[in-house]
Protein backbone atom coordinates (compact mmCIF):
# COMPACT_ATOMS: atom_id res chain seq x y z
CA UNK A 1 0.00 0.00 0.00
CA UNK A 2 1.33 3.42 -0.99
CA UNK A 3 0.13 5.88 1.66
CA UNK A 4 2.12 8.98 0.78
CA UNK A 5 4.24 10.29 -2.08
CA UNK A 6 7.01 12.87 -1.75
CA UNK A 7 8.79 13.95 -4.90
CA UNK A 8 9.23 16.53 -7.62
CA UNK A 9 6.18 17.63 -9.57
CA UNK A 10 7.12 17.33 -13.24
CA UNK A 11 3.79 17.71 -15.05
CA UNK A 12 0.23 18.89 -14.43
CA UNK A 13 -2.35 17.68 -16.93
CA UNK A 14 -5.71 17.65 -15.11
CA UNK A 15 -6.90 15.38 -13.70
CA UNK A 16 -3.50 13.64 -13.85
CA UNK A 17 -0.12 14.76 -12.58
CA UNK A 18 3.35 13.23 -12.77
CA UNK A 19 5.61 13.10 -9.71
CA UNK A 20 9.26 12.01 -9.87
CA UNK A 21 10.48 10.10 -6.82
CA UNK A 22 14.21 9.41 -7.12
CA UNK A 23 14.02 8.57 -10.79
CA UNK A 24 10.68 6.76 -10.70
CA UNK A 25 7.76 8.70 -12.16
CA UNK A 26 4.30 8.12 -10.69
CA UNK A 27 1.09 8.91 -12.55
CA UNK A 28 -1.38 10.22 -9.98
CA UNK A 29 -5.03 11.11 -10.43
CA UNK A 30 -6.03 14.15 -8.38
CA UNK A 31 -9.26 16.10 -7.85
CA UNK A 32 -9.35 19.77 -8.78
CA UNK A 33 -9.37 20.71 -5.09
CA UNK A 34 -5.87 19.22 -4.87
CA UNK A 35 -4.73 20.62 -8.22
CA UNK A 36 -5.35 24.17 -7.00
CA UNK A 37 -3.00 23.62 -4.06
CA UNK A 38 -0.08 22.11 -5.95
CA UNK A 39 3.23 23.98 -6.19
CA UNK A 40 4.78 24.98 -9.49
CA UNK A 41 6.23 22.31 -11.75
CA UNK A 42 9.78 21.54 -10.65
CA UNK A 43 9.06 21.94 -6.94
CA UNK A 44 8.64 19.30 -4.25
CA UNK A 45 5.16 18.04 -3.50
CA UNK A 46 3.78 15.76 -0.78
CA UNK A 47 0.53 13.91 -1.41
CA UNK A 48 -1.60 11.56 0.68
CA UNK A 49 -2.38 8.68 -1.65
CA UNK A 50 -4.86 5.86 -2.16
CA UNK A 51 -3.77 2.87 -4.25
CA UNK A 52 -6.32 0.92 -6.31
CA UNK A 53 -5.56 -2.43 -7.93
CA UNK A 54 -7.86 -3.64 -10.72
CA UNK A 55 -7.61 -6.54 -13.13
CA UNK A 56 -6.63 -4.18 -15.94
CA UNK A 57 -4.77 -1.40 -14.10
CA UNK A 58 -3.06 -0.14 -10.97
CA UNK A 59 -4.15 3.40 -10.16
CA UNK A 60 -2.86 5.95 -7.69
CA UNK A 61 -4.99 8.82 -6.38
CA UNK A 62 -3.47 11.78 -4.57
CA UNK A 63 -4.71 14.45 -2.18
CA UNK A 64 -3.09 17.46 -0.52
CA UNK A 65 -5.28 17.13 2.58
CA UNK A 66 -6.02 14.09 4.67
CA UNK A 67 -9.72 14.94 4.90
CA UNK A 68 -9.99 14.80 1.09
CA UNK A 69 -8.45 11.33 1.13
CA UNK A 70 -10.77 10.23 3.93
CA UNK A 71 -13.84 11.48 2.07
CA UNK A 72 -12.62 9.81 -1.12
CA UNK A 73 -12.33 6.48 0.69
CA UNK A 74 -15.81 6.86 2.17
CA UNK A 75 -17.29 7.71 -1.23
CA UNK A 76 -15.89 4.69 -3.07
CA UNK A 77 -17.49 2.41 -0.46
CA UNK A 78 -20.92 3.60 -1.58
CA UNK A 79 -22.61 1.15 -3.95
CA UNK A 80 -22.29 2.40 -7.53
CA UNK A 81 -19.64 5.02 -6.78
CA UNK A 82 -16.18 4.33 -8.14
CA UNK A 83 -12.94 6.33 -7.90
CA UNK A 84 -13.75 8.35 -11.02
CA UNK A 85 -17.07 9.56 -9.65
CA UNK A 86 -15.46 10.25 -6.28
CA UNK A 87 -12.92 12.51 -8.02
CA UNK A 88 -15.74 14.33 -9.80
CA UNK A 89 -17.46 14.98 -6.45
CA UNK A 90 -14.25 16.23 -4.81
CA UNK A 91 -13.59 18.42 -7.84
CA UNK A 92 -17.08 19.89 -7.76
CA UNK A 93 -17.29 20.76 -4.07
CA UNK A 94 -15.18 21.06 -0.94
CA UNK A 95 -15.60 18.38 1.77
CA UNK A 96 -17.36 20.85 4.07
CA UNK A 97 -19.79 21.72 1.29
CA UNK A 98 -20.40 18.02 0.64
CA UNK A 99 -21.28 17.55 4.30
CA UNK A 100 -23.82 20.35 4.07
CA UNK A 101 -25.32 18.83 0.92
CA UNK A 102 -25.71 15.46 2.62
CA UNK A 103 -27.17 16.89 5.83
CA UNK A 104 -29.60 19.09 3.89
CA UNK A 105 -30.64 16.24 1.55
CA UNK A 106 -29.73 18.45 -1.40
CA UNK A 107 -30.21 16.04 -4.31
CA UNK A 108 -30.15 18.89 -6.82
CA UNK A 109 -26.58 19.84 -5.93
CA UNK A 110 -25.52 16.24 -6.47
CA UNK A 111 -27.16 15.72 -9.86
CA UNK A 112 -25.59 18.91 -11.20
CA UNK A 113 -22.29 17.04 -11.32
CA UNK A 114 -21.53 14.85 -14.36
CA UNK A 115 -22.31 11.16 -14.15
CA UNK A 116 -24.55 11.44 -11.10
CA UNK A 117 -28.22 10.70 -11.66
CA UNK A 118 -31.06 11.22 -9.21
CA UNK A 119 -31.02 7.65 -7.88
CA UNK A 120 -27.25 7.72 -7.37
CA UNK A 121 -27.51 11.10 -5.65
CA UNK A 122 -30.21 9.84 -3.30
CA UNK A 123 -28.18 6.73 -2.48
CA UNK A 124 -25.09 8.85 -1.86
CA UNK A 125 -26.94 11.06 0.58
CA UNK A 126 -28.48 8.16 2.48
CA UNK A 127 -25.30 6.10 2.76
CA UNK A 128 -22.94 9.01 3.42
CA UNK A 129 -25.12 10.41 6.17
CA UNK A 130 -24.21 7.35 8.27
CA UNK A 131 -20.52 7.76 7.52
CA UNK A 132 -20.06 11.44 8.30
CA UNK A 133 -19.00 10.50 11.80
CA UNK A 134 -15.86 8.89 10.33
CA UNK A 135 -14.31 12.26 9.78
CA UNK A 136 -14.83 15.88 10.83
CA UNK A 137 -15.76 18.37 8.16
CA UNK A 138 -13.96 21.14 9.97
CA UNK A 139 -10.63 19.38 10.44
CA UNK A 140 -7.63 19.20 8.19
CA UNK A 141 -7.85 22.77 7.03
CA UNK A 142 -4.08 22.82 6.66
CA UNK A 143 -4.20 23.39 2.96
CA UNK A 144 -1.20 24.68 1.11
CA UNK A 145 -1.47 28.10 -0.51
CA UNK A 146 -2.79 28.09 -4.01
CA UNK A 147 -0.24 28.50 -6.73
CA UNK A 148 -0.75 29.38 -10.35
CA UNK A 149 0.99 28.32 -13.52
CA UNK A 150 1.58 31.06 -16.05
CA UNK A 151 0.09 30.61 -19.52
CA UNK A 152 1.17 32.43 -22.61
CA UNK A 153 -2.27 33.09 -24.08
CA UNK A 154 -5.95 32.77 -23.24
CA UNK A 155 -6.27 30.24 -26.06
CA UNK A 156 -3.71 27.93 -24.47
CA UNK A 157 -5.11 27.85 -20.95
CA UNK A 158 -8.74 27.76 -22.09
CA UNK A 159 -7.91 24.67 -24.15
CA UNK A 160 -6.27 23.07 -21.10
CA UNK A 161 -9.30 23.94 -18.97
CA UNK A 162 -11.71 22.48 -21.49
CA UNK A 163 -9.70 19.24 -21.67
CA UNK A 164 -9.75 19.01 -17.86
CA UNK A 165 -13.53 19.45 -17.66
CA UNK A 166 -14.07 16.84 -20.38
CA UNK A 167 -11.73 14.52 -18.48
CA UNK A 168 -13.98 14.91 -15.44
CA UNK A 169 -17.00 13.79 -17.45
CA UNK A 170 -18.57 17.02 -18.67
CA UNK A 171 -19.76 17.13 -22.27
CA UNK A 172 -17.55 19.15 -24.67
CA UNK A 173 -20.33 21.65 -25.42
CA UNK A 174 -21.09 22.08 -21.72
CA UNK A 175 -17.41 22.64 -20.94
CA UNK A 176 -16.97 25.10 -23.80
CA UNK A 177 -20.01 27.13 -22.78
CA UNK A 178 -18.94 27.32 -19.15
CA UNK A 179 -15.40 28.40 -20.06
CA UNK A 180 -16.61 31.02 -22.52
CA UNK A 181 -18.96 32.52 -19.94
CA UNK A 182 -16.29 32.60 -17.22
CA UNK A 183 -13.79 34.27 -19.55
CA UNK A 184 -16.42 36.82 -20.52
CA UNK A 185 -17.19 37.66 -16.89
CA UNK A 186 -13.59 37.49 -15.62
CA UNK A 187 -11.21 39.22 -17.99
CA UNK A 188 -8.42 39.16 -15.42
CA UNK A 189 -7.99 35.36 -15.50
CA UNK A 190 -4.45 34.44 -16.57
CA UNK A 191 -4.15 30.69 -15.93
CA UNK A 192 -6.01 27.43 -16.54
CA UNK A 193 -6.39 26.40 -12.89
CA UNK A 194 -8.39 29.50 -11.97
CA UNK A 195 -10.45 29.06 -15.14
CA UNK A 196 -11.19 25.42 -14.25
CA UNK A 197 -12.19 26.36 -10.70
CA UNK A 198 -14.60 29.09 -11.80
CA UNK A 199 -16.01 26.96 -14.63
CA UNK A 200 -16.74 24.10 -12.22
CA UNK A 201 -18.44 26.52 -9.86
CA UNK A 202 -20.59 27.94 -12.67
CA UNK A 203 -21.68 24.46 -13.81
CA UNK A 204 -22.46 23.15 -10.32
Amino acid 146: pLDDT: 39
CATH of the domain at 51: 2.40.50.140
Whether residue 161 lies inside any domain: the answer is: yes
- For the segment 146-161, the average pLDDT, to the nearest whole number, is 54
Give the strand pairing for 4-13 and 24-29. Answer: unpaired
State which residues form the domain around 183. 154-203
Amino acid 187: pLDDT: 67
The number of domains in the chain is 3
Residues 72 and 52 in one domain: no
What is the residue-averaged pLDDT of the chain?
81
Residues 20 and 51 in one domain: yes
Whether residue 149 lies inside any domain: the answer is: no
CATH of the domain at 127: 1.10.150.20
In order, the DSSP letters of 27-65 are: EEE--HHHHTT---TTSEEEEEEEEEE-SS-EEEEEESS
Local structure of 19: helix, strand or coil: strand
Whether residue 193 lies inside any domain: the answer is: yes
Residues 70 and 98 in one domain: yes
Amino acid 92: pLDDT: 84
Q: Which residue has the higher pLDDT, 8 or 179?
A: 8
Distance of alpha carbon 80 from alpha carbon 171, whole angstroms: 21
Whether residue 142 lies inside any domain: the answer is: no
CATH of the domain at 176: 1.10.8.10
Residues 28 and 38 sit within 8 Å (Cβ to Cβ)? no
Q: pTM value?
A: 0.67
Q: Which residue has the higher pLDDT, 149 or 202?
A: 202
Amino acid 138: pLDDT: 40
- pLDDT tens for 157-179 read 677 777 787 777 787 778 778 88
Residues 123 and 178 in one domain: no
- pLDDT tens for 91-120 read 888 888 888 888 888 999 888 888 888 888
Amino acid sequence: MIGQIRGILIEKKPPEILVDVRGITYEIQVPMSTLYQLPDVGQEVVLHTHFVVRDDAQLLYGFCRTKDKTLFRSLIRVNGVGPRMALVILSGMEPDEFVRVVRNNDVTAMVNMPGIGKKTAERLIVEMRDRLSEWQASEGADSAPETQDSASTVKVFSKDAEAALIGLGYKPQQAARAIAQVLKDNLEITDSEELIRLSLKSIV
